[in-house]
Amino acid sequence: MIKRKNKFAEILKQYNYQLHSGDIVAGTITHNETIGFLVDIGTEKVGYLPKDELIINCKNTIANHLLFINTTRDFFLVTENINTQQFILSIKRLDYIRAWKRIKQVYIEDIVFNLPIHRINKGGIITYLEGIQGFIPKSHISCINKNNITYKILTINENKNQLILSNKSAQLKISLHKFKIGELLYGTIKMLKSYGLFINIYGIKALLHVSEMENINNNTQMFVIGKLIKVKIIHLNKKHGQVSVSTRKLKDIANRHPQ
């Protein structure tokens, strides 16, 4: 083993092998210390992995640090400690980089997921994707199933470590085949607002704005929670999971397209 290490070190010298902050290096964990691990990275200087650099979500804990001994894997090189002549390594930062790569791919592919709810506050729901904290604003929550929620990514900002998710957008994508611009559908009134009504259509909350109500002055009292009404789909915002409907000129439409 010693001869093999020496030979590897000679090869590294031959090719002028130098390490820099931000490099990804392979190494084997050789020793468990009080607050970290010693790592053989094939150089004269040993690598050091602090235990707080193990995982992205620091609320999780490693049950048995000794399981890492003799493990060979990649590490992120944070910096060099001049005083101890050691390279400071991190698994957490490497996993963070890879997590964001996967998140970006999920965002591009517009994938819908189910995730456990980590915490609920006044502003919305907190959950985790690939170890990165995600937030679902209250305005983007439509339906919660027990302790899980369906979502898709709304916006991402790796520089700010910001991951915003949307439940409404995910619900609309799942049910999008049921909606078509100009189509007549029935929905149940769920909420009355000064600017309009919110109607439940196939589990999706649609907005009937006052400007899209037929003869609003005469029909205001007819709108009550729980009432079933016919509406026309006039707008779909797939990104934000928004559906807009209208009751204007439904009779003319019905005459042209008999049900």
pLDDT in tens, the chain (259 residues): 445 555 555 555 555 567 888 999 999 999 988 899 999 998 888 999 999 998 876 444 444 455 578 889 999 999 999 888 899 999 999 999 999 999 999 999 999 989 899 999 999 999 999 999 999 999 999 877 778 889 999 999 999 999 999 999 999 999 989 999 999 999 999 988 888 889 999 888 899 998 888 765 545 556 889 999 999 999 999 888 899 999 887 754 444 444 4
pLDDT for the residue 36: 92
Identify the structural domains of the chain with CATH numbers, from first to last. 2-91 (2.40.50.140), 110-172 (2.40.50.140), 179-256 (2.40.50.140)
8 Å CB contact between 8 and 42: yes
pLDDT for the residue 221: 56
Q: What count of other Cβ atoms lies within 10 Å of the Cβ of residue 200?
A: 15
pLDDT for the residue 215: 60
Q: What is the DSSP letter of 195?
A: T
DSSP 124-168: EEEEEETTEEEEEEGGG----BTTEEEEEEEEEETTTTEEEEEHH
Q: β-strands 47-50, 86-90: how paired?
A: parallel
Q: Please write down the long-range contacts of 5-13, taking CB distance under 8 Å and 24 or more positions apart.
A: 5/40, 5/42, 8/42, 9/42, 9/43, 9/44, 12/42, 12/43
Count Cα neighbours of 32 within 13 Å in the Cβ-side half-sphere: 8
pLDDT for the residue 61: 43
8 Å CB contact between 120 and 88: no
